[in-house]
Amino acid sequence: MTSRFPAIAADITNLFAARNTHAVEVAILQPADPFLDMAGEDLRRRIFLTESETGQTLCLRPEFTIPVCLDHISSQAGTPRRYSYLGEVFRQRREGGNEFFQAGIEDLGDRDTAEADARSVADAHALLSLVLPGRSLTVTLGDQGIFEAVLAALGLPRGWRMRLARAFGSAPMLQAALADLANPPRNGQLSGEVAALVLDGDLEGLSTHIAGGMEEAGLSASAGRAPSEIARRLIEKAELRSVRLSNEAFAALKNFLAIDVPLDGAAEALGSFAAGAGLSLGAALEKFAARARAIEAHGLPAEKIRYDAAFGRPLDYYTGVVFEIAAQGGERPMAGGGRYDRLLTLLGAKTAIPGVGFSVWLDRIEALRETAP
């Protein structure tokens, strides 16, 4: 690693030490299930899968957040704790090259989430300012929590909230979901016992029925989706078809997604939107405003930070702020990150551990360093 990016590696390592992080190394081979379950559709398609001698499905690590969190759980380390890393990740990519380098910080266990979020953005900004001197940096923020609060305030049922939340971060998926919400698909062709179970929302009964049908047909549950997953999707689709969102509510959702303002005016813009739509965003808006103040307190240039209500990142584990930082003259983001308060519990932690973190792409940084600022 250091032989490929000597200057960057040394600068980043020194910054991580100055920011009181614990340097961690995680195995290149990782259990595949956590990534397949939680990493998001885009990343799932690009994972390199393999198998252990015992038949366990493994993968080359496609990112660091999940491995670092698994390592933290297995080590039973206390919190709060800040981890830093620098190493290779592996993803199938069309543009050439399937292995590249990332560095970043995962900040676990700090209950002051506004401060931890602001510190993560500030750390990423400081790192890029260090290795890209003279470059003007722009920060784009989104907020999964605000988005989900709007969906709940509009009265959308759980199925729709889940679908839209999963689509947040993927413009094509979000547009497709909104199109279906505006023009709900026609009723399916279910009948008999399956239709009754779906109508009742009986997940356990429907799962048992599907499992029995698969067994009679000689199909293995491990060969595809589990009966419970099939049942959940059938019930969800039926719920989606039953929704008829009012024109006013649909217009409110579109108006929310159109908000794109400098961060120092974002809380006011969200408050005005909520008041105009007759919605209460409650604690989500309070957390947003507290984070904006904390970011400002870190001295980041407010005019270079914008809040885009439709902006998300294509990883399923995010629960709050998401952000990317780009350099002027660069076509792709140099850094990206966000909050993932549910992830460690899903990975097996016995108690809830809040988390936020970011990664930077060293290959992109090095390519930009080779061009004149």
Question: Can you give the pLDDT at residue 223?
Answer: 47
* Helix (H) or strand (E) run with residue 58 in it: strand 57-60
Is 49 strand, coil or helix? Answer: strand
Question: Can you give the pLDDT at residue 222?
Answer: 47
Q: What is the pTM of this model?
A: 0.83
* Exposure class string for 233-263: b at 16+ Cβ within 10 A, else e: ebbbbbbbeeeebeeebeebbeebbebeeeb
Question: Can you give the pLDDT at residue 63?
Answer: 95
| Phi, psi of 363, deg, nearest 5 | -60, -40
Q: How far apart are CA 306 and CA 143, in angstroms?
A: 12
Q: Which fold has domain 6-150+257-369?
A: BirA Bifunctional Protein; domain 2 (3.30.930)
Q: How far apart are CA 12 and CA 84, in angstroms?
A: 10
| Sequence spans of domains, the chain | 6-150+257-369, 192-242
Question: Can you give the pLDDT at residue 193?
Answer: 73
The single-letter code of the amino acid at 265 is: G
Q: How far apart are CA 12 and CA 284, in angstroms?
A: 34
Is 70 strand, coil or helix? Answer: helix
Beta bridge partners of residue 327, listed in sequence order: 137
In this structure, what is the dihedral angle of CA atoms 161, 325, 19, 85, given to the nearest 10 degrees? Answer: 80
* Helix (H) or strand (E) run with residue 99 in it: strand 99-108
- Sheet with 321-327, strands from edge to edge, namely 22-23, 81-90, 99-108, 355-361, 335-339, 321-327, 137-143, 305-308, 260-262
The whole-number mean pLDDT for each consecutive block of 10 residues of the chain, a chain of 373 residues, reads 75 96 96 86 83 89 96 94 96 76 97 98 97 93 95 85 85 84 62 66 77 70 64 68 73 95 96 96 95 94 90 90 88 94 96 97 90 69
